[in-house]
Amino acid sequence: MLNVNSISFGYTEKMVLKDLNFTVGKGEHLSIIGESGCGKSTLLKLVYGLLQPADGTISWNDKQVLGPDFNLVPGEKYMKYLSQDFDLMPYTTVEENVSKFLSVFYPEELQERTEQLLEMIEMEDFAKTKVQFLSGGQQQRVALARVLAQEPEILLLDEPFGHIDNFRTNSFRKNLFNYLKRKGITCLVATHDMDDVLPYADQLIVLKDQEILAHGTPKNIYRHPKDLYTASLFGEVNVVPIQLLKQYAKINKSILVYPHEFQISEKSGLRVRVKKSFFKGSHYLHEGLTDDGETLSFTSRESLKPETKIYLNVALETINARIA
Ligand SMILES: Nc1ncnc2c1ncn2[C@@H]1O[C@H](COP(=O)(O)OP(=O)(O)OP(=O)(O)O)[C@@H](O)[C@H]1O
């Protein structure tokens, strides 16, 4: 188990992270999200031992991770960190880059493992291509296979699909996260992409103002966002006074409503005039104006003409869940 215990850190006197505490079990997937500059990469570097915490300890199975003050060559053997720099050998082939870390004493196994890893990154056809001739996204995939060839117990990934196009990302992401689960490799992923988080992460940490603002399962944090900051990390969100939705309500409070949580009615509810519509593939996202001049985002399956008047409603159970 990875144990991060009261970690604080600053590059200067100003702290970037303050008193962080969490644990990650063997084979678990933890995602770290938060606005740009909130300290996601810094946290991964601390866990890897590249930075020295000002306070606190980090340990893996009760063995302390030593930072650069105590470790001449920072980084632990059982842990791999894939940063934005890929650290590949450009003048050798994809195959050689990956197999370099496999044992040469078992040539058959070496060949099989290399093929397995190339299949996982969907680069079988590039086995004999020199890395210098690959695109950024392809290099990122090779870097990942190379790291996995070293069979780490923990893998730290910083924006792992940042250079890979959407077309590839979906299948590659699925291959990778399934592979890590199968092998029982613990992984910590710093990301902006909710498609990395919602389907795969066992735990989610939201960072803000040096601290952990929310910590739980992705489902729980998504369904019960603590505040606008957290909800906004998942996409568009509305802040709606309850009295606008239920006039009889005595509570003078606002709740967070995701666009798809509005139900559209032609008869009753909160009256809105459609202003703009955006085609999103599976649905339309609309911007509408209430009689009070508030802009709300909501979705529908069908297109809506500008200036159409419709009524929005939110299920009582959603309202109750958000008030709580
Ligand atoms: N080497 C450094 N020296 C000084 N300050 C740094 C250094 N690296 C990062 N910082 C600062 O520390 C803070 C956290 O940076 P970090 O890169 O960890 O954020 P992040 O959440 O990973 O951002 P992003 O999502 O944009 O990658 C930022 O304010 C950044 O400017």
Structure confidence by residue, pLDDT tens digits, 218-244: 999 999 998 999 999 999 999 999 888
What DSSP element (H or E) covers 117? helix 107-120
Query: How many angstroms separate the CA atoms of 264 and 196, rounded?
Result: 30
pLDDT at 164: 76
- pLDDT tens-digit profile of 167-193? 777 888 888 999 999 999 999 999 998
pLDDT single digits (tens) 280-295: 999 999 999 999 899 9
Distance 42 CA to ligand 1 centre (A): 6
Please tell me the distance between residue 62's alpha carbon and the centre of ligand 1 in angstroms: 28
How far, in Å, from the CA of 37 to the mean position of ligand 1?
Answer: 5
What does the block give as tokens for 9?
């850190």
Supply the pLDDT for residue 84: 63
* Cβ neighbours, 10 Å, residue 112: 12
Q: Which of 195, 210, 228 is the last residue of a domain?
A: 228
Residue count of the chain, please give it. Answer: 324
Looking at the fold, whether 198 and 251 belong to one and the same domain comes out as no
| 112 and 10 both lie in a single domain | yes
Could you tell me the CATH number of the domain that includes residue 319?
A: 2.40.50.140
Does the pLDDT at position 59 exceed 80? yes
Identify which of 8, 13, 32, 42 to mutate to test ligand 1's pocket (most ligand atoms within 8 A of the CB): 42
Judgement on whether residues 244 and 298 belong to the same structural domain of the protein: yes
The alpha carbon of 36 and the centre of ligand 1 are apart by a number of angstroms equal to: 8
* pLDDT at residue 57 greater than cutoff 90: yes
Judge if 265 and 221 occupy the same domain.
no
pLDDT of residue 105: 62
Which of 34-43, 106-115, 267-276 shows the lowest mean pLDDT across its residues?
106-115
Mean per-residue pLDDT over the chain, rounded: 90
- Please indicate whether residue 135 or residue 7 has the higher confidence score (pLDDT): 7
Looking at residue 104, what is its pLDDT?
A: 63
pLDDT band at 75 (very low <50, low <70, confident <90, very high): confident
Residue 269 sits in the same domain as residue 196: no
> Which of 228, 262, 282 is the last residue in one of the domains?
228
Single out the residue in 164, 198, 228 at which a domain terminates: 228
304: left (phi over 0), alpha (psi -120 to 50) or beta: beta
Residue 227, classed as helix, strand or coil, is coil
Please tell me whether residues 130 and 7 are part of one structural domain.
yes
Is the domain of 41 the same as that of 178?
yes
Residue 188: partners with Cβ closer than 8 Å, 6 or more residues away: 2, 24, 30, 31, 32, 44, 47, 154, 155, 156, 157
- Please tell me whether residues 147 and 110 are part of one structural domain: yes
Please indicate, yes or no, whether residues 73 and 173 belong to a single structural domain of this protein: yes
Residues 46 and 137 in one domain: yes
Ligand 1 atom at shortest distance from the alpha carbon of 38: 21
- The residue nearest atom 25 of ligand 1, judged by CA position, is 36
pLDDT confidence band for 128 (50 / 70 / 90): very high
ipTM of the complex: 0.98
Domain that holds residue 279: 236-323
Give, using CA atoms, the residue closest to atom 24 of ligand 1.
36
Q: Which residues line ligand 1 (CB under 6 A)?
A: 11, 16, 34, 36-42, 190
User: Above 70 in pLDDT, residue 304?
Assistant: yes
54: domain CATH number? 3.40.50.300
- 317 or 164, which is more confident: 317
User: Do 119 and 253 reside in the same domain of the chain?
Assistant: no
Total tally of structural domains belonging to the chain: 2
21 C-alpha to ligand 1 centroid (Å):
20
- The verdict on 108 and 257 lying in the same domain is no
8, 18, 38: which to mutate for ligand 1, most atoms within 8 A of CB?
A: 38
